Amino acid sequence: MATASTTGDARPILDQIATTDRRRRISWRLWFSATWVALVGSLLFALWITGNIQLDFIAEWSPFILQGTTTTIILSVVSMVLATILALIGAVSRLSSNPVINGAASLYVSLVRGTPLLIQIFFIFFALPQLGIVLPALPAGIIALGFNYGAYMTEIFRAGIQAVAPGQREAAEALGMPERLVMRRVVLPQAVRIVIPAIGNDFVAMIKDSALVSTIAVQELLWRARSAGTQEFRTLEALLIAALAYWVLTIIFSFFQERLERRMARGDR
């Protein structure tokens, strides 16, 4: 048999390698998914054989509880937009050479990160009315969440801006671009790419932390689960439904986040 190296055609081997690789990948994925299904399935089965799960309650109250999903999504998305705006302003301010601007931004971050989110929510909804500022529950919740996450994200954006290579700023300045333009056109677009994974994580956390505003009677997922559960004395089922809904939401979001990250990385390489 001739050595296939120089003149012979090695293509059949390549095809075989490709087929084997594909088969391995598919089988890996199958096992991976099967593990999930098996674990979740046995957990639910274990709950069911205790005989304490009422499927009737689930069938009857699921629609009511799941209606809260819309509120949860609105709450999370609007709060996230607010947080992003605050974080952008905060980050640029934290890097400012002006002591007043820098001081104000750093106080914001310190204060918000140094106090519990739950107190901030209560403060805006229960304490501000004492000063004559009365906000409906949903806007109060959005402001509290947005304000809180804005502080954490300020630090993320600041790190992102500082992670942009100093040469980028120099190159832009050397072209005669004024400071603001350098920031807007050169530094921020690159910083945003750097922070997208971290911001994505924060959004997942935000979806879950939005449950805290159930305490001020915003009728989102957890609030509905609690009210249905207490009313019918079926807290276990109610909480299960809500927990599943949060879980599915975060899975869906993570899926899109992964795709976004892959797409943004493509332009760079």
Partner 1 sequence: MTDAPLPDLGARQATSTSGYESGSNLPSHIGEPIVKVEGIHKYFGQNHVLRGVDLEVRQREAVMVIGRSGSGKTTLLRCINFLEEPTVGSIEVDGVRVDADPLHARDRRHREQIRQIRMRAGMLFQDFNLFPHMSVLANCIEAPTHVLGHSVEHATKRAEYYLEVVGLAEKRDEYPARLSGGQKQRVAIARALCMEPKVLLFDEPTSALDPELIGEVLVVMEDLAHSGTTMIVVTHEMHFAQEAADRVVFMENGVIVEQGPPEQVLNDPRHEETTHFLRRFLDR
Q: Which stretch binds partner 1 (CB under 8 A): 52-60, 125-133, 162-170, 230-238?
A: 162-170
Q: Say how far apart CA 159 and CA 155 lie, in whole Å.
A: 6
Q: Tell me if 181 contacts partner 1 by CB under 8 A.
A: yes
Task: Collapse the DSSP code of 69 into the 3-class scheme (helix H, G, I; strand E, B; otherwise coil) and give the result.
Answer: helix
Smallest distance from the beta carbon of 266 to partner 1, in angstroms? 9
Query: What's the angle, vertex CA 101, arms to CA 99 and CA 104, rounded to 5?
Result: 100
Q: Tell me if 269 contacts partner 1 by CB under 8 A.
A: yes
**Is the CB of 74 or the CB of 181 nearer to partner 1?**
181
* Range 109-114 contact pairs with CB under 8 angstroms and sequence separation of 24 or more: 109/151, 109/154, 109/155, 111/151, 112/147, 112/148, 112/150, 112/151, 112/152, 113/151, 113/152
| String of DSSP letters for 71-95 | HHHHHHHHHHHHHHHHHHHHHHHHT
Smallest distance from the beta carbon of 174 to partner 1, in angstroms? 4
Q: Say how far apart CA 112 and CA 54 lie, in whole Å.
A: 42
- Judged by CB under 8 A, the chain residues 10 through 49 that form the site for partner 1 are none
**Is the CB of 193 or the CB of 208 nearer to partner 1?**
193
The amino acid at residue 240 is L
Q: Say how far apart CA 93 and CA 158 lie, in whole Å.
A: 9
Q: Tell me if 165 contacts partner 1 by CB under 8 A.
A: yes
Q: Which stretch binds partner 1 (CB under 8 A): 11-19, 119-127, 186-194, 205-213?
A: 186-194
Q: Which stretch binds partner 1 (CB under 8 A): 33-41, 106-114, 175-183, 244-252?
A: 175-183
> Cβ neighbours of residue 96 under 8 Å, at least 6 residues apart?
102, 105
Residue of 171, 248, 251, 252 interacting with partner 1 (CB under 8 A): 171
Smallest distance from the beta carbon of 160 to partner 1, in angstroms? 13
Residues listed for the chain: 269
The site that binds partner 1 (CB under 8 A) totals a number of residues, namely 23
E strand spans, the chain: none
Q: Tell me if 163 contacts partner 1 by CB under 8 A.
A: no
**Is the CB of 113 or the CB of 184 nearer to partner 1?**
184
Q: Tell me if 63 contacts partner 1 by CB under 8 A.
A: no
- Judged by CB under 8 A, the chain residues 79 through 138 that form the site for partner 1 are 97
Residue of 70, 170, 233, 251 interacting with partner 1 (CB under 8 A): 170
Residue of 1, 32, 167, 263 interacting with partner 1 (CB under 8 A): 167
Query: What's the angle, vertex CA 242, arms to CA 237 and CA 247, rounded to 5?
Result: 125
Integer distance in angstroms from the first to the last C-alpha of the chain? 43
Residue of 77, 104, 177, 243 interacting with partner 1 (CB under 8 A): 177
Residue of 151, 186, 195, 222 interacting with partner 1 (CB under 8 A): 186
Instruction: Using CB under 8 A, list all residues that contact partner 1.
Output: 97, 165, 167-168, 170-179, 181, 185-186, 189-190, 193, 267-269
